[in-house]
Structure 1
Amino acid sequence: MDIEEQKRLEEQIQAYSKKIDFYTSEYTVEILAQKVANQEYTVPEYQREFTWDEPRKCKFIESLLIGLPIPFVFFWMNDDTGKLEIVDGSQRLRTLEEYLGSRLRLDGLERLALLNGTVFSDLPLARRRKVLNKSIRGIILSEDTDIEARVDLFERINTGSKVANPAEVRRGVLRGPFMDFLTEMAQNKLFNQLAPVSAKQKKEREQEELLSRFFAYSDSLECYKDDVSPFIFRYIKKMNSEFENNPQLRDDYETRFLNMLNFVESSFTLGFKKSVNAKTTPRTRFESIAIGSHKALQEDPNLNVPKEITDSMLESSAYKKEIRSDGANAIKKLRGRINFVCDALLGRN
């Protein structure tokens, strides 16, 4: 890394670091549970669904009782309400409140098997006091920490955990006309026919994720820097504002989407699917076909490509190499698979 690159790196680190300002505080379990019960904390929309199942709740309480370290809870100070918003830790706090209120009956414990079938009030008084006085450290982000930084923090902490995925998070925090548009287009019958998703993926809003990528990459690929989730977050936030200021954009974007779908239906035997009976749609395949087709139609709105040509293209070793999953979100790979399809449709390969 040369001196100029080191300078740019330092500027990048400092620019993002300025978004994060925080201090720490210690809370007793009793205080935390009381505040949850009194609704003194706010929970962002994308965290409101209580997703922990009973075994996970019980496992957490067992960890607390035997003295294992409990991860920090992250809050954000909302100056407008004076309340703390839970950026990360709502599942833990709500489980604590449920247990201390004796509404959670422990089951399946291995280390403390004698507590199976009991609730908090069944504990001896001395043990209850010890539990209530246990402390958990909180990290409080200042009011200057913007929503993008808070969501980014939530996603980084919970990578690999059973939490809301980026599409669900964006739906919760980026309400607006463009997000409403994505939700509506995700119900399009032809889109669902050409790009099927599993029941689990549908619940996790995979259709909206595919659509978000289609529009974001179509519009702003030159701004993409290998950072899918933050990139799409910023794009939807910007487009909510643009749709608000110019309602006509909605018709323009719907026309773009429908033109692409109609072309894919007429030119690709399987649509975005990998096989006839496929129940899911690979993201790399969808991106290459959807955005590649859109780019080709921009150059030739009357484009008509026989299905034999696209069938041959999709079966080629060159195409399969472009859509390999390793490093799939790197800008070079993304551009490669999109341009490959575009060039093939226009007869440039």
Structure 2
Amino acid sequence: MTRRDEGPSSAQVELAEGQIVEQSKRIDFFLTEYSVELLAQKMRDNEYVVPAYQREFTWESARKSRFLESLIMGLPVPFIFFWEMPDGRLEIVDGSQRLRTIREFIFDGFRLGELEQLTDVSGFGFDDLPESRQRKIKNRSVRGIVLNEHADEAARLDMFDRINTGSKIANYAEIRRGALAGPFLNLVVELSGSKLLADLAPMSEKAKKERGYEELVTRLFAYGDGLEEYRDRPSDFLFSYSKKMNDVLTYSPETADVYRRRFQSVLEFVDRNFPFGFKKIPSGRATPRTRFESIAIGVDSALSEFPELDEYPPERLEVDTWISSAEFQHIVSSDGANAISRLRGRIGYVKEKLVACVGD
């Protein structure tokens, strides 16, 4: 009988409960309600803070019109999530598109597109409606959830992502790029455009547009620099790492060149010694993230400890003897991929295979 069949042990249950309690402490909130008129005024007067990662994502006219149709009809609309900043201002965690649409409709002359239910209202602006209807719309209330100031940046971004799961919205790489603009993110963007990276680690056009290469570059550096603060949550870890590295490169710009050389060394080593690059098969058109992590960070770690590996000929390293093995395929499988034990295991596997060649 396997451990899975037996169920979790008492120690595992205690550990799980501790994690639930710890994560729950990050989110403390209260409920409130705002009139549409108040929300529009505060957006017009710039009293709400729109975080950088939300600014570039704008609803198209049809989506704005559909939302406003619901508002005019008096249908319930989703909660607006705010974070109460230490200075008392409210940052919009989720809902900036709704709030901007409300402001545009009431104050900025936005005209409704083709509506599904209120067909006779299609093409109207707010001022075209009877005054009585204008008042009713302004008096409608929208419910809000306000997180207290103890909800850290990573917690707020995680909430934003969870609320918008399945929507046409930013992913974690996009969010980091918007929220953490700075020298490290600039370096990541620069390196993500590498032609050699694209050749060794192909991905779909969709993945490229979702900044898939930026995610790979960030993971190479973040995991390669150490997993001491990793807690089985890649998004939190990568966010904290990127924020820290922005500070490092701000005060020490020359460090960027160290990371550029490190990145290039890994790619050139893989190009020389790994028969399919980061791909599973020669004709592969996609690169599993776990496979990239195993190879790229394993190589990075091995070269850091034994730089002389860079001078070894491919026949001495014999990568082709294990890279397609069932053992390696199991190591890079996605089951429990983000658990630190699995992450350390797949990175360590490649490193140990390479280091074993030293002195042969």
For normalisation by structure 2, the TM-score amounts to 0.83
SS at match of 1:130: helix
Q: How far apart are the structure 2 equivalents of 1:154 and 1:336?
A: 31
Aligned pairs for 1:267-286 within 5 A: 267-276=273-282, 278-286=284-292
Taking a change above 3 Å as real, the CA distance of residues 50 and 178 of structure 1, as seen in their structure-2 partners, is closer
Q: How far apart are the structure 2 equivalents of 1:262 and 1:327?
A: 30
Matched, 1:155 2:164: no
Q: How far apart are the structure 1 equivalents of 2:42 and 2:118?
A: 28
Say which is worse superposed, 310-319 or 257-266, in terms of deviation. 310-319
Structure 1 residue runs of 5 or longer lacking an equivalent are none
Aligned to 1:105: 112
Aligned to 2:75: 68
Matched, 1:320 2:292: no
Deviation at 1:217, TM superposition (A): 1.3
Aligned to 1:96: 102
Taking a change above 3 Å as real, the CA distance of residues 311 and 6 of structure 1, as seen in their structure-2 partners, is closer
- The structure 2 residue matched to 1:256, chosen from 253, 262, 268, is 262
Q: How far apart are the structure 1 equivalents of 2:317 and 2:301?
A: 20
Aligned to 2:3: none
Taking a change above 3 Å as real, the CA distance of residues 134 and 327 of structure 1, as seen in their structure-2 partners, is same
AA in 2 matched with 1:331? I
Taking a change above 3 Å as real, the CA distance of residues 277 and 114 of structure 1, as seen in their structure-2 partners, is farther
Deviation at 1:281, TM superposition (A): 2.8
Q: How far apart are the structure 2 equivalents of 1:280 and 1:48?
A: 31
Aligned pairs for 1:172-321 within 5 A: 172-247=178-253, 249-276=255-282, 278-303=284-309, 304=312, 305-306=314-315, 309-321=318-330
Taking a change above 3 Å as real, the CA distance of residues 122 and 290 of structure 1, as seen in their structure-2 partners, is same
Contact 1:195 1:281 in 2 (8 A): yes
Deviation at 1:285, TM superposition (A): 1.9
Q: How far apart are the structure 1 equivalents of 2:19 and 2:280?
A: 40
Deviation at 1:307, TM superposition (A): 10
SS at match of 2:161: helix
Aligned to 1:337: 346
Aligned to 1:30: 37
Deviation at 1:92, TM superposition (A): 1.0
AA in 2 matched with 1:26? E
Q: Count the aligned residue pairs.
A: 346
Taking every aligned residue pair, what percent have the same amino acid on both sides?
51
Contact 1:26 1:138 in 2 (8 A): yes
Say which is worse superposed, 86-95 or 19-28, in terms of deviation. 19-28
AA in 1 matched with 2:53? Y
SS at match of 1:65: helix
Aligned pairs for 1:33-48 within 5 A: 33-48=40-55
CA deviations 1:160-189 (Å, max 9, x no partner) are 222211111112222333333323322334
CA deviations 1:212-266 (Å, max 9, x no partner) are 1111111223432221101111122223333445445433333322221110111
SS at match of 1:285: helix
Contact 2:44 2:103 in 1 (8 A): yes
Contact 2:31 2:145 in 1 (8 A): yes
Contact 1:269 1:307 in 2 (8 A): no
